[in-house]
Amino acid sequence: VVPEVEYAYILLNKPKDYITTLDDPQGRKTVMELIKGATTQRMFPVGRLDRNTTGVLLLTNDGSFSQQVCHPTFEISKVYEVKLDKFFVSGDRTRLLYGLMLEDGPVSFDEVVVIGEKSLRVTLHEGRNRIVRRTFAYLGYTVVDLCRIAIGSIKLDRLLPGQSMPLTAAEIDSILKN
């Protein structure tokens, strides 16, 4: 008889300098340290954020949920606020929306909103390794600050960096029905 697993879902506002892994042989800080005591379940990150990227990170013990959130065929949006090293050229907005060919395949953003001379809000539904940073580098920019502010309908809201909270059943349903 296989024991029933109680699924758990946590929203974390990932701060800088934490890596998105279960443990690190190099002794760097991991996101798992930030959720100690939040649940008795063995959790894992849903997708990844690089060490210098902040914001929405989901953690769970539900492999099916993780697959649905991460796989591009489910088209769950990821929204990022991007700060660049130089002024954003308006012609690059069109290139981001229509798509570019990176070394590991095509990428296009679903939405690009200019919120300042050097800052944008971008939406895409895939999460390949460092995709936002690599896309802007392809266009000649350096991303100086990157924060994921939403995955589907799940937003940071009032969570401070390093804080976490359990997702409600309604939030879990809303992201899967995105």
Instruction: Say how far apart CA 25 and CA 151 lie, in whole Å.
Output: 29
Contacts 24+ apart (CB under 8 A), 171-175: 171/9, 171/11, 172/9, 172/65, 175/69, 175/76, 175/151
Instruction: Say how far apart CA 80 and CA 95 lie, in whole Å.
Output: 17
Give yes or no for a contact between 152 and 110, defined as CB atoms under 8 angstroms apart.
no
- Among residues 17, 23, 24, 50, the one annotated as catalytic is 50
Q: Is 62 a catalytic residue?
A: no
Q: Which residues are catalytic?
A: 50
